[in-house]
Chains A and B, each alone.
Chain A
Amino acid sequence: MTTTSAAATGVAGGTERVIGYSRAINEALAEEMRRDERVWMMGQDIGRLGGVFGLTRGLLDEFGPLRVRDTAINETFIVGGAAGAALAGTIPVVELQFADFLFTAADEIFHKLAKWRYMHGGQFTMPVVVRLPSGVVGGAGAEHSQSLETIAMHVAGLKVAVPATPSDAKGLLKAAIRDPDPVLFFEHKGLYRVKGPVPESDEHVVPFGSARVARPGNDLTVVATGLMVDRAVAAAEQLAPHGIDVEVIDPRTLVPLDIDTIVASVERTHRLMVVHEASRTAGFGAEIATQVQERAFFALDAPVWRVCGTDTPLPQDPELEQACIPSTDEIVAAARALAAI
C-alpha cells in the first residue's frame, strides 16, 4: 500500500485514521446524505444487501428505503431515472454493479447525463454521480472487469474520477456529490480492501482537476491511475537503488485533467511514461502523450512510452487476466529501458 504522506494528500495538520477504500466511500455517502437531504441513492442490491461489494452497508438503516432504493435489474432506469430525478431538484448517487454496465446504460450516460444541460440551453444542471466498480478483480470476466474511463473521457459533458487511495476515494466522492455536473466515479474493485490514512473531517473534499504526486522523483515521470498507482510506486522503489529516481503522478480525475502538473514534471525529468490498466489503443495514455508533446516537445529527451492493458478482451481465468494488465515488473523493465534512452 502507498505510504501516502500528509503532504501528498493535501492535508495540513489535522488527525488521520487508517481506513479501507470501501469504508472511505461508505463514509462519504453517509456524510453527504446527512449534510444534504436531497442526496439519495438507487441501484441493485444496495439496500438490504449493502451492495455486492458492501459499499453501501448500513445506509438503508440510517436513511430509510426512500433514500436508499433497491431497483430492479434496469440499468437504463438507474441512470436515466437519476437524470430525471436531478431535473426535479434532487441529487442522485447511483450505483451500477459493474462499470462495464455503462454500456448497458450508454444512451442514458452519454446522451442524457452528458448533454441534457447543453441541449437545453443551460436551463438545467445535472448533479448525478454514477458509481462504477471498475477494473480487474480476479476472474470476473470480460464483461465485469474493464477499465472504461477513457470512453467516458471522450464524450464531452462528463466528469471522470479515478481514485487510487482511500483518502482520494472519500474526498473525490464528496466533491462529486457536491458538483452540479454529472460525474462518472470509477472505483477500482481491486482497491476496495486497501487501507490508508484518511483525514478526520466531514469537510475532506478533494477538488477535481488536481493531480497528486504519489512519489516525487527527478529522472522519469510516470503517470498512473487506479490500481496502477501502487504498482508504479512499487516499481519506483525498486528502481531507486539503481539510480533511477521516478516521479509518480496520479491525476485523480481525467476530466478535468491536471495536465499542468504533468507537464511541469516532464520539464524537470525530461521523460514520460503512462501506465494504465485499460487497453492500450486510444487509451488515456495516448491523450496524455499527445498533450505533453504539444506543450513540452523540446523538454522530452526520449519518446513517450505507454505500459497498458492488452488490446484484447479480458480472459476469465484470474492468472491469465493478470497477464493482461501491467505488473510491477513490467513497469520496472519499461522504466529502466526508457531511462536508458
Chain B
Amino acid sequence: MTNDPGPDREQVQREVYRKVVTIRFAELRIREHVEKEGFGGFWHPGIGQEGLQVGAVSAMQDDDYLYYAHRGLGYAFAKGMPLEPLFGDLLGRANGSTRGKGGGTVHFADASRHVLGQGGTLGSNFVMGAGTAAASQLLRDGRVTVVFFGDGASGRGTWHEAALQASVWKLPVVWICENNGWALSARFTEQSPTEHVADRAPAYGMPGVVVDGQDAMAVHDATAEAIDRARRGEGPTLIEAKTLRIRGHYEGDRQPYRDDPVLGDEIPNDPVHRLGESIPDDVRRGIDAEARSQVEQAFGAALAAPRADRSVIFEDVWA
C-alpha cells in the first residue's frame, strides 16, 4: 500500500475520478429516464457510492474476477465494461450484455473482462466467490476474486460458510461490504450487534478493515493491500466501506420508513468532489464534458436498440 502522491498515484486518481464522474452522469441519466418514462423493473441507484465501487475495482488487475452488487453500475464499468451494454441490459435491449433478457434489475456480465455476474438472491455471491477463488488456487492462475455485498446481505448464512472455508483454505478472495446504513427498510444499527460488519472478521481469522467509503482512494488502497495479501496466498480480507444510501432502495421508493434525514439530492462527502479537488479545473472540466457526452451517446444508442425477439426466451437454457 502506498500513499505517496507520486505521478502514478496522480494518474490512478485521475482515472478513478473519470470513472466516478462518468457513473455519476449515468446515475442522473437513468434517474431521469425512470422518472419520465417509467421502467420495467427496479433501478437501485448507487449515487454517492460510486467512489468506493470504482476505487476498489481500480485496485484489481484485468484478469481478476468480479462479483458485483446491485447498487448501480460503478463496479462493472470500472472493470472495463462499456456503458452501452450496461444501459442495454437495464432497458431490456438486444444490445445488452444479456442480449435482451435484462430489464431493470439485471445480471449484466462480461466473461472476457471477468465480470462474472450477479445472483438475484443476496448472499449467493459469497459462496460463488470463494469457489472461484478455489479454482484460481487449483489452477495457480494468480487471480484474485473480489465480491461486493451490502450491509443487509451480510446477514446471510452463506457468508459464514464462505468466509470460514475461504479462510481455512487461504483462498484469494476479497470481500467488500458497502455499508450504506440501510437494507431496504432495515436500519443497520438495528440488525447488527456490533458497530461494524468488519468486527466479524476476526472470528474467521481474517483481517477486517473499516474504511471511509466516500474516500475513493482510501478504498482503493485498502483493496490493493487486501488483493496483494490474497495474491501472496495469505487468504481473504473483509473490507467494510462506510457509505450512505442517498436515494430510496429503488428509484421511486418513497421511503416512509426512513426517519434519518432523507438526503435526496445532497451527497455528503461527495466522492466526485473529493476526487476532483486536486485536479486542475480545466483538466477536470475536460474530463466531465467527455464523460457526459459518453453517457449521452451510450444511453441514446441503447434506447435506439431493438428489444429482444421472443426467441431469446428459449436460448441459453442449455450449453
Residues of A with Cβ closer than 8 Å to B?
38, 40, 42, 66-67, 69, 71-72, 74-77, 79-90, 92, 107-108, 111-112, 116-126, 156-157, 179-181
CB neighbours (8 Å) of A119 from chain B are 98, 101, 107, 117, 120
CB neighbours (8 Å) of B124 from chain A are 80, 107-108, 111-112
Q: How many residues of B contact A (CB 8 A)?
A: 49
Q: Given A77-B162, A107-B124, A121-B97, A85 and B135 touching (CB < 8 A)?
A: yes
The answer to whether B165 and A72 have CB atoms under 8 Å apart is yes
The answer to whether A87 and B128 have CB atoms under 8 Å apart is yes
For chain B residues 175-195, which have a beta carbon within 8 Å of chain A? none
How distant is the Cα of A53 from the Cα of B100 in the complex, in angstroms? 46
Does B164 make an interface contact (CB < 8 A)?
A: yes
CB neighbours (8 Å) of B319 from chain A are 117, 125-126, 179-181
The answer to whether A66 and B127 have CB atoms under 8 Å apart is no
Nearest B residue to A117, CB-CB: B316
* Contact pattern, B 145-181, Cβ under 8 Å of A = 1, otherwise 0: 1000000000001100110110011000000000000
For chain B residues 104-139, which have a beta carbon within 8 Å of chain A? 107-111, 116-117, 119-121, 124, 126-139
The answer to whether B165 and A116 have CB atoms under 8 Å apart is no
CB neighbours (8 Å) of A75 from chain B are 161
For chain B residues 208-246, which have a beta carbon within 8 Å of chain A? none
Does B65 make an interface contact (CB < 8 A)?
A: yes
Residues of B with Cβ closer than 8 Å to A?
65, 96-102, 107-111, 116-117, 119-121, 124, 126-139, 141, 143, 145, 157-158, 161-162, 164-165, 168-169, 315-319
28 contacts between A and B (CB under 8 A): A40-B138, A74-B164, A75-B161, A76-B161, A76-B162, A77-B131, A77-B158, A77-B162, A80-B126, A80-B128, A84-B116, A84-B145, A86-B135, A88-B141, A90-B138, A92-B131, A92-B135, A117-B319, A118-B101, A119-B107, A119-B117, A120-B98, A121-B97, A121-B99, A123-B117, A125-B319, A126-B319, A179-B319
Cβ distance A39 to chain B, nearest Cβ, rounded Å: 10
The answer to whether B157 and A76 have CB atoms under 8 Å apart is yes
Cβ distance A299 to chain B, nearest Cβ, rounded Å: 29
Nearest A residue to B112, CB-CB: A123
How distant is the Cα of A181 from the Cα of B316 in the complex, in angstroms? 11
How distant is the Cα of A84 from the Cα of B130 in the complex, in angstroms? 7
Cβ distance A126 to chain B, nearest Cβ, rounded Å: 8
The answer to whether A84 and B132 have CB atoms under 8 Å apart is yes
User: Told that A72-B165, A83-B131, A111-B119 touch, could you supply 5 new A-B pairs with CB distance under 8 A?
Assistant: A107-B119, A111-B121, A118-B101, A120-B107, A121-B101
How distant is the Cα of A45 from the Cα of B300 in the complex, in angstroms? 55
Nearest A residue to B315, CB-CB: A122
How distant is the Cα of A118 from the Cα of B119 in the complex, in angstroms? 12
How distant is the Cα of A133 from the Cα of B148 in the complex, in angstroms? 34
CB neighbours (8 Å) of A85 from chain B are 131-132, 134-135, 138
CB neighbours (8 Å) of B161 from chain A are 72, 74-77
Cβ distance A70 to chain B, nearest Cβ, rounded Å: 10
The answer to whether B158 and A80 have CB atoms under 8 Å apart is yes
Nearest B residue to A92, CB-CB: B131
Cβ distance B116 to chain A, nearest Cβ, rounded Å: 5
The answer to whether A88 and B143 have CB atoms under 8 Å apart is yes
The answer to whether A89 and B139 have CB atoms under 8 Å apart is yes
CB neighbours (8 Å) of A86 from chain B are 131, 135
The answer to whether A123 and B109 have CB atoms under 8 Å apart is yes
CB neighbours (8 Å) of A111 from chain B are 119-121, 124
Q: Given A90-B135, A121-B101, A121-B316, A81 and B117 touching (CB < 8 A)?
A: no
Cβ distance A88 to chain B, nearest Cβ, rounded Å: 4
CB neighbours (8 Å) of A71 from chain B are 165
CB neighbours (8 Å) of B111 from chain A are 123-124
Q: Which of A42, A80, A112 is most buried by chain B, counting CB atoms within 10 A of its CB?
A: A80
Cβ distance A116 to chain B, nearest Cβ, rounded Å: 7
Nearest B residue to A127, CB-CB: B319
Cβ distance A115 to chain B, nearest Cβ, rounded Å: 8
The answer to whether B98 and A87 have CB atoms under 8 Å apart is no
How distant is the Cα of A133 from the Cα of B317 in the complex, in angstroms? 26
Cβ distance A149 to chain B, nearest Cβ, rounded Å: 18
The answer to whether B158 and A67 have CB atoms under 8 Å apart is no
How distant is the Cα of A25 from the Cα of B117 in the complex, in angstroms? 33
Nearest B residue to A81, CB-CB: B131
Task: Choose from B110, B120, B134, B318 the contact partner of A181 (Cβ within 8 Å).
Answer: B318
The answer to whether B136 and A88 have CB atoms under 8 Å apart is yes
Task: Choose from B109, B119, B129, B133 the contact partner of A121 (Cβ within 8 Å).
Answer: B109
The answer to whether A80 and B127 have CB atoms under 8 Å apart is yes
How distant is the Cα of A171 from the Cα of B168 in the complex, in angstroms? 35
Nearest A residue to B169, CB-CB: A69
